[in-house]
Structures are given as structure tokens and as C-alpha cells.
Chains A and B, each alone.
Chain A
């Protein structure tokens, strides 16, 4: 209705970026329903590549996975010829979310309500009683099944990672990521076949963008995560980088632990020891780093806009799929993996090191708690801006630790796409 349209336009004109300044992020980008709806339209359903699956989750012809693009449910299926197809998980008839298992194998998708049937590419192949019963009822004569396929998305893959887009004419995933981000992506997905190790799923009562920002923020690592410092994961000698792609959307938070733990100079050691106060791990195996990547970094956390985090934390590896649930909550699906050629001991090393991450991880747990606190602060308070001025106004790639440059880069891109 015209009234509604003008109301919605008015609501957005009230959203004026404070002082036109990227050091200030207004609370409404995290809390407004109108902003969220525009994000779904312009970002998740717009010109982006969205993570939907790892190929190792759908290994065989007929394998499928229930997934999401933004908040929108999709099915990812492998056809008999091996090709991968992504289509809406919504029956063309009455709109039922027809696929219910999280993963599985099938020959076709049958909606449980009226048994409309679709093939592995999302084409409608069966409508019961299409011609009626006893020549009565049924579909109109001009009904064409091919006009009622499931809504299909564009699909691309890179090194075993599957992306989908509602846009029909997306650039290649390589151009989308840009060379610097692609380099670290390829260091993790280095051509070895992935071996699925399992899932964690959790909600976080916070805005979805907060998760990107947390991984574009090297400042928090040694402050929130005392564990890293107390147990010597992050030491004074670590080199760090916050790499940003030319568009500003994607990034890599990278750090490099010295080869030898004892490589830290005496002065730093003294400071570290003061910090430890008798805290020492009894079983240090899970801090071991087995060199296996062609990369100068021992840790890379990549934020791939808009819904993917790749995790290479020493040898524990995974992707995190962000599924927004409105402005104030997101679902996070963690898919943990190793490589097909891992020995059993290497798999166990990855599993032991997995204690760092996930919703019970020494680091992962603290991130989730902190983001919840931030959202509560924004929703319940009178003050209305976040202040991100570390590193002054610099943007783009930096090698400083105390900077929020990558967050400002993300919001420069965001404001352009969102028209804010």
C-alpha cells in the first residue's frame, strides 16, 4: 500500500549516519528492523556470494543439505552428473519448507503436504492428480510444470566450498574475494580433499554484523581472551595482520606464532610470566602446531561477506555459517573439518585443538558472551553510537594490532550498498 511504502521510506530517512563519520557507528545498524529488511534485500539477496555448503557434506550424487542464504532456507543438492544445485526450500504449490532433514541422500524431493515432486536440480517433475479424478478437477489445461520449478540460485565452487547467489550475473568467486583474501582462502583450501568432522550449532542474541566486526578487530584478542596470553598462545613476538580486500567487505585476521616458543626475548618472557601467575597447561598438546600450510601465518580467521567465516586456528579448521534471524539474533552453524589424508593421530590433534573454538571453545565461548553483552547494551540504553576510532581514520590492510581500520572499511562498503 502507498501508505506503508511512504512510512518505510520515512523510517529509513530517519537513519542518518552521525556526522557522516566512520568512527561513529549508529546503534540502529544493529537494532532496526527496517535496516535488517534492507540488508536481506540488498546484501543477502543482492550481489553477494553466500556460503551454503562444503562439497564434503554432499559427497555423492543424490546427497543434499538443508542450508540458508541469509535467513532464506535453501536446499543444496548434488545431481546425478555430479553438478551442484541450490534452490529455495519452498514448495511452488503452497509454500511449505519441504525438505526437513539437515543432510541426507535422495532421488527426488517430495513435498510432504501434497506430494509435489522435484528433481535434484529443483525442477518440478510430478503433481498428483494433475488431470483430476474421473475427469473432474485437476490443473488448468495450460498448466506447464516447467513454469513452477523451485526458485534456483546461481552456484559456484572454489576448492570444495560451495557458494550461491540470488543474483544471476555474479562475477567469479575469485574476483569477488580479491587476490589478497583469495591467497589466505587458498592456503586453507589447498586442494587436499576435505574430511567432515562434525557440526556445532548455536544462536547468539546479537546482530549478525557483530560477528564480522569481532573478527576484524585484532584489539580484542589479547584483552577479552586472557586465555591466549595466560597460556602462551599469543605472545609478544607474534606478528599480526588485518588484511582487507579492495571492496572493504572481506578480510583476514592473521597472526604468526614464532617457530620456537622460547623465541620470545627475556624481557617479554618476564612480563608473560607475571601475567601467568602460576597458570600452566598440564596437557600442552593442544597448543602444538603441525606445519602443513603454505602460509606465513599460523592463524587466519577470514570474514567473507556476508555469511562466512573460515577458521584456521593452528590445526583446528572449520567454517562458520552465519544465518541472521532478524536484527537481534543470528544462528551460527560451525562445520569442522580436516583432510582426507590425515592420519588418525592428526585427526585427534585437530579434535583436541577444537577445544579452542565453538560455543564451548576457550575463545569461541567468550566471543559469544561478549557479543550478547554488546547487543543488550545497545538495545536497552539511551546512548546510541559505537565509537571505533582506534587507528584514527585509517582503513584497509594494516599490520598494527591496536586498530579498527577493517571495521571502518566494512562500513564504507556497507553504507554504499545500503544507501545510508
Chain B
């Protein structure tokens, strides 16, 4: 069962506006990932952000391990650099499809809790396209200099059995 299912009251117009803003944020985020411009990926986060990709079985049981586990933007930049410059993997194309953005709450300090569903299609250049992951983002956004940034993005995937490897951030 998705978390915080009862949490959302009817949306006032200002929150609708916010949802649109988050959809635009996600669209830009995905554009960077789909272009495999992984070194630009950390710029969507605050310096102290937390990023994790984990299976739903772990999230449900409060088990803290992550397929990717980054405390702070430095660890994200390190991962991005390693993927871009050091790691060995087969060439591929990726497409993320993100939808069902929900605003769960806006805290007094302006922190926005939101979620969205994602599907990640992977096409290895010599294989048919597969669904690599189906999952959900659990996000915390903050506003810095007028712009939204992620303070936390938890990518929780339903597709517990991964085909071979997940190379790029989700």
C-alpha cells in the first residue's frame, strides 16, 4: 500500500501550481538522465541531500540498505564521475517515464513532501527493450534562491529482481 494515502486534502490552486512546478522539475531531471549526462545529475540536489535506490521489500521492512546510497552531494558527484569516467558496462539507452505526481504536504519551513511513479525502460544496443524498473520516488523538495531542489529522493522499486545491473541513477 502506498504510504501516506490519506494525507492529501483537496488541493488549493497554489498547490496545483506547485505540482506543475514539480512536474517540470522531474521532466528536466529525467531529460538529463535519459541523455546519460550523469555528471549533471547532482545539480538537482542540495549539498546535504540524501539519495537512495532501494527495493520495496527493504523499504517496507525498514531495512536501510541501498542499491545506491548517497549522503550528500559529494557522494553523488563521485558516483557520477565513476560512471562517466571509470566504470565498465555495456552501452545502452534509457527512458524514464514519470507520472502521478502527488503533493503530500508542505511544512512550515517550506519543505515539500511529494511522490511520483516511475517506469525505467532500458535498451541495450544489441537487445530488445525491457522494463528495468517500476518504482516510486518519495521526495522532499526545498526552495533555494527561488528554485526547487531535492533534499531527499528515495527511489523505491517494485521490480525486486534486477536484470544484471543498474548502472545509472534513477
Residues of A within 8 A of B (CB): 102, 196-205, 224, 226-227, 230-231, 279, 281-283, 285-286, 331, 336, 347-348, 351-352, 354-355, 358-360, 362, 364-366, 368-370, 372-373
Q: Given A360-B68, A365-B89, A369-B88: A283 and B164 within 8 A (CB)? A: no
Q: Which of B54, B63, B66, B162 contacts A202 (CB 8 A)?
A: B162
A308 to B167, CA, bound (A): 24
**In the complex, what residue of chain A is closest to B77 when comparing beta carbons?**
A282
Residue pair B65, A279 in contact (C-beta under 8 Å): no
Do residues A369 and B86 form an inter-chain contact, with CB atoms below 8 A? Answer: no
Contact A348 B71 (CB under 8 A): yes
Known contacts A198-B58, A369-B90; 4 further A-B pairs (Cβ under 8 A):
A202-B162, A351-B66, A360-B67, A362-B79
Nearest 4 CB-CB pairs, A to B? A198-B65, A283-B74, A198-B63, A282-B74
User: Given contacts A283-B78, A352-B75, A354-B66, are A227 and B165 in contact (CB under 8 A)?
Assistant: no
Q: Is the CB of A197 within 8 A of B85?
A: no
Most chain-B CB neighbours within 10 Å: which of A282, A348, A354?
A: A282
Task: Assess the A201–B63 pair: CB atoms within 8 A.
Answer: no
Closest Cβ of chain A to B50, distance in Å, is 11
Is B160 an interface residue when CB atoms closer than 8 A count as contact?
yes
* Complex partner residue of A227 from B53, B69, B82, CB under 8 angstroms: B82
Chain B residues close to A by CB (< 8 Å): 53-55, 57-58, 61, 63-72, 74-75, 77-79, 81-82, 85-90, 160-167
How distant is the Cα of A199 from the Cα of B54 in the complex, in angstroms?
9
Picked from B54, B61, B72, B163, the residue with its CB within 8 Å of the CB of A203 is B163
Residues on A with C-beta less than 8 A from B90 are 369, 372-373
Give the Cβ gap from A66 to chain B, nearest Cβ, in Å.
12
Chain B nearest CB from A221 CB (Å) reads 13
Instruction: Give the complex CA separation of A336 and B61 in angstroms.
Output: 14
Instruction: Enumerate chain B residues within 8 angstroms of A360, measured Cβ to Cβ.
Output: 53, 67-68, 165-167
CA A279 to CA B160, docked complex, whole Å = 33
Query: B69 to A355, Cβ gap below 8 A?
Result: yes
Expressed in whole angstroms, the Cα–Cα distance for A360 and B67 within the complex equals 6
Partner of B164 from the list A205, A224, A227, A347 (CB cut-off 8 Å) is: A205
Q: Which residues of B contact A224 (CB under 8 A)?
A: 88
A157-B112 Cα distance, complex, nearest whole Å? 48
- A354 CA to B88 CA, complexed, in Å: 19
Q: Can you list 26 pairs linking A and B with CB atoms under 8 Å apart? A: A198-B57, A200-B65, A201-B161, A203-B163, A224-B88, A227-B82, A279-B85, A281-B78, A282-B74, A282-B77, A283-B72, A283-B74, A286-B75, A352-B69, A352-B75, A354-B66, A355-B68, A355-B70, A355-B79, A359-B166, A362-B79, A368-B164, A369-B88, A369-B90, A369-B164, A372-B90
Which residue of chain A lies nearest to B59 when distances are taken between CB atoms in the complex? A198
Contact (Cβ within 8 A) B75 A200: no
Per a CB cutoff under 8 Å, which of A196, A202, A281 touches B165?
A202
Q: Distance in Å from the Cβ of A290 to the closest Cβ of chain B?
A: 16
Chain A residue numbers with a CB within 8 Å of B63 are: 196-199
How distant is the Cα of A231 from the Cα of B85 in the complex, in angstroms?
12
Does A203 lie within 8 Å of B164, measured CB to CB?
Answer: yes
- Assess A204 versus B75: contact at CB under 8 Å? Given A279-B81, A354-B69: no
A263 to chain B, nearest CB (A): 23
